[in-house]
Amino acid sequence: MAARALDFKVDITPAMLRLGKLPDEVRNALKAELNVLATKVRDKAKENAATMFQVRTGHYLASIRKSVRASKTSVVARVYSNDPKAHLLERGVKPHDIRAVNATELAFLSFFGLSKFAKMVHHPGMQGHAVISTAFFDVLGEIEVDLTEAVQRAAKENAAQAPAAAEA
């Protein structure tokens, strides 16, 4: 099962997209701002995970990462975990039975400090803890304000450079 990731995108006006690309100033401003914001979301997600879960090996915390990519028409930031158990921790697990592969083997279940060998064991399930999405929503107000300001600053710079380029 794929790890959970949150992508946040900024939709620039359709007029700019019709031009076939974002102005360089806007793309660079968005990329820089999204890098800062994705770092904040990642750090908040790691803080949430450390608070919500017992940290044994630190693999899950270390697996929470961010990336920022830009193309001619978009800038995308991702905060994600590629840990194999990330989706279980984020979404939870329904109660279910774990059966031995064949009659001569025993299934082993260990959780909450209890260990048991049997031909079948019942996993009680667990509630998910939306570590990454909670971090995203904690920072969402800041994301909206900072990205709007970054685009406005870049658009003003682009507009200021346009008359100078036309005169030259």
pLDDT in the model for residue 104: 66
Reported as a pLDDT band with limits 50, 70 and 90, residue 25 is confident
Confidence of residue 40 (pLDDT cuts 50, 70, 90): very high
- CA-nearest of 130, 93, 132 to 112 is 93
Is the whole model's pTM more than 0.75, yes or no? no
| Digit-coded pLDDT (tens) for 78-107 | 999 998 888 888 888 899 887 777 666 666
Q: How far apart are CA 58 and CA 126, in angstroms?
A: 20
Q: Does residue 76 contact residue 9 with C-beta atoms inside 8 Å? A: yes
Closest CA to 55 of 30, 29, 24, 89: 89
